[in-house]
Amino acid sequence: SEKEISAIGDIFSFSLEKNEELNKKLFVFKEISEFKKYVLSFHENSSIILLESPQMQDIYSRISKVSKNDTSVIITGESGTGKEIIARHIHNLSTYSKGPFIIVNCGAIPESLIESELFGYTKGAFTGADPKGKIGFFEKANNGTIFLDEIGELPLQIQVKLLRVLQDKTITPIGSRTEKQINVRIIAATNKKLEEEIEKKNFREDLFYRLNVFPINIPPLRERKKDIKILIDFFVKKYYISFQKERKDISENVYKLLMDYSWPGNIRELRNTIEYCMNMIEENETRIEPKHLPPKFLKNKEDLDDKKTLKEFEKENIINLIKIYGDNLEAKKIIAKSLGIGIATLYRKLKKYNL
């Protein structure tokens, strides 16, 4: 609490000048407290970063209306725009907020396992099955929310079963003849244009209309420049506290470079860029300067204006993170977490890019 923090500050204030290590620890402790208040000040009952662009203000307004109901929501937008954050915000404001919030990346689960992962199975349901059976993601999300990210990657046969869940609120585990009633709110997300996937026969039209009752499209970061500075300041504060560094500021030159960049990887790329800077800056340096930025920002202005493909950004970002953390197993776990993906997905990307 604030009183506790104040009391601790009074008790130890006399020795701060004499004990540099204690001074640093107390600084970090105080900054963590301030950061929590900083985050919570954005929105009551939520840790969402309240952004100021008209597009995001409109989204927040619509979220506050749909959260109270059990209406199906589908969130669209480019990779890295913050679809999971918006989904979690809807959950936090809903009547399901006291229940679990289960995240499922539909594109990260092998097709052979997706049905058992979503719906579970009974003991002895198939060769190699756990003898105790397994509870699926939908059952784990009972009385809460399930967030189906990358829903456009679901195989067609699973789309049929998902449609049944939406219609009847029931699931049937593999190997069972008994339906289970569930009380789950479903929020879906995709970076694909599902209308085009329907035309290609990759996505069911009936499922699309069941999901697309309340669509929310998150614009890419390059279309809402007003939010970039807020996010920069947020992530700088987050990482100098996380890394237990003294307070760091940002030079005007760095602000300009970051504001002028097109951010093909959106918020995720911005977050990773700031994390890179906080790894590169020395303890005795107080400001992030251009020399601390990833190499892609140090090219000439003409190159900065060229929009990279998402694949080019992704490969370069992975290379930069390997330079920072190394390439052993523990380092790869940290890199995967930094990228917001699973370790298996990271290995696939390393193979894809010959890294």
Q: Give residue 244's identity as a one-letter amino acid code.
A: Q
pLDDT digits (tens, 9 = 90+) for 123-179: 877 777 787 889 999 999 999 999 999 999 999 999 999 999 999 999 999 999 899
pLDDT digits (tens, 9 = 90+) for 34-83: 444 444 444 434 445 668 899 999 999 999 999 999 999 999 999 989 99
Please state the CATH superfamily assignment of the domain spanning residues 54-219 in this structure: P-loop containing nucleotide triphosphate hydrolases (3.40.50.300)
CATH of 222-352, one of 1.10.8.60, 3.30.1370.10, 1.10.10.10, 1.10.3720.10: 1.10.8.60
Q: What is the DSSP string of 260-307?
A: HS--TTHHHHHHHHHHHHHHHS-TT--EE-GGGS-GGGGS-HHHHHSP
pLDDT-derived band at 310, boundaries 50, 70, 90: low
pLDDT of residue 40: 41
Q: Yes or no: say if 216 and 63 are a contact pair by the CB < 8 Å rule.
A: yes
* Distance from C-alpha of 191 to C-alpha of 162, rounded to nearest angstrom: 19
* Distance from C-alpha of 161 to C-alpha of 179, rounded to nearest angstrom: 12
Spell out the domain ranges in the chain. 1-41, 54-219, 222-352
pLDDT digits (tens, 9 = 90+) for 71-122: 999 999 999 899 999 999 999 999 999 999 999 999 999 999 999 999 999 9
pLDDT digits (tens, 9 = 90+) for 221-267: 999 999 999 999 999 988 888 887 788 889 999 999 999 899 988 99
Radius of gyration of the chain, Cα coordinates, nearest whole angstrom = 23
pLDDT-derived band at 20, boundaries 50, 70, 90: very low
Q: Tell me the average pLDDT of the chain.
A: 82
pLDDT of residue 96: 96
Picking from 214, 220, 259, the residue whose alpha carbon sits closest to that of residue 70 is 214
| Tokens read off for 253 | 């030159």
* Distance from C-alpha of 33 to C-alpha of 176, rounded to nearest angstrom: 50
* Distance from C-alpha of 135 to C-alpha of 233, rounded to nearest angstrom: 41
